[in-house]
Structure 1
Amino acid sequence: MRIMGLDFGSVTVGVAISDPLGWTAQGIETVRYVEHKKNMLFDRIGELIKEYEVEMIVVGLPKDLIGTETQRAAASRGFAKSVRRKFKIPVELWDERLTTMAAERILIAADLSRKKRKQVIDKEAAVLILQSYLDKKRLEQKNDE
């Protein structure tokens, strides 16, 4: 089962996809959109769902360091609800605490210029969101056995 991870931002959405076994997350792309033209964003997400045969989506939920939802969390919740309604597949919200900072560190370590980092940081954050979800689910499954 393939799972899609989304890092929802105010201008871009980072997209990651799991491998068919649900072990690893790979960054696919960063989708740019304009707030009043979200239909283009949903069209692209729909194309990716079909292309990769996605059966579930994980949307990052912004929280601060102590676990309280940030102001941006309401927008992420609304986005997740719209995705669930539009594509009729399960959507789960997942704590995305510190993923953007971790993505930034990874990209700096890879010696990417500031300009290139800006282009791919949301995609990398989506990878971290999805990978943490996959790791947690795999651990839960192992503990159930």
Structure 2
Amino acid sequence: MLEARADGTVLAFDFGLKRIGVAVGNTFLRQAEPLNIIHAPTNDGKFAEVAALIGNWQPVLCVVGLPLHPDGESHEMTQRCRRFANQLQGRFKLPTILVDERYSSAVLNGKRGAHIDDDAAALILQQYFDENP
């Protein structure tokens, strides 16, 4: 994955097979906000929505949550998220960074409702900001 080289908007993604949570922030304020949930049923539909978000927000960086087992080992979704991150970087020519999301579920545990995916993306992005001053 490439490193960010510029200040500006950052989009974060919590990738899932059914939904992709999206959050936004910027390198100046370093505050993540839930933005959107992508519900498209096909990969082409998902990437069309991602393309629209990238066109609107003009990010300098994308952040993707990387799910791992508690012991740090990979599983099926780990590989799918890596692939999604590689596709973001390849299709949109944007630096894309993977962020360990093992504990975002624990933070959101107990929260139910329509906005959990974009809240998860916001947690992932905030973690990135907090760990990369």
CA-CA distance at 1:52 after TM superposition: 1.5
From the superposition, tell whether residues 42 and 67 of structure 1 become closer, same or farther in structure 2 (CA, over 3 Å).
same
Counterpart amino acid of 2:103?
L
Q: In the alignment, which residue of structure 2 is the partner of 1:110?
A: none
TM-score by length of 1: 0.81
TM-score by length of 2: 0.88
Q: Please list the CA deviations of residues 52-105 of structure 1 after superposition, one character each: whole Å capped at 9, or x if unmatched.
A: 121110111101111112221011111111111111111111101121231234
* Larger Rg computed on CA atoms: 1
Counterpart amino acid of 2:117?
D
Q: In the alignment, which residue of structure 2 is the partner of 1:85?
A: 90
Identity of aligned residues (%): 29
- Preserved CA contact (<8 Å) 1:61 1:69: no
CA-CA distance at 1:20 after TM superposition: 5.3
Counterpart amino acid of 2:109?
E
From 112, 117, 127, the counterpart of 1:132: 127
Q: In the alignment, which residue of structure 1 is the partner of 2:75?
A: 70
SS at match of 2:109: helix
Structure 2 Cα separation of the partners of residues 120 and 70 of structure 1? 25
Q: How many residues align?
A: 126
Counterpart amino acid of 2:12?
G
1:11 aligns with 2:6: no
SS at match of 1:54: coil
Structure 2 Cα separation of the partners of residues 104 and 33 of structure 1? 25
Q: Point out 4+ residue stretches in structure 1 off by more than 6 angstroms.
A: none
Q: List runs of 5+ in structure 2 lacking aligned partners.
A: 1-7
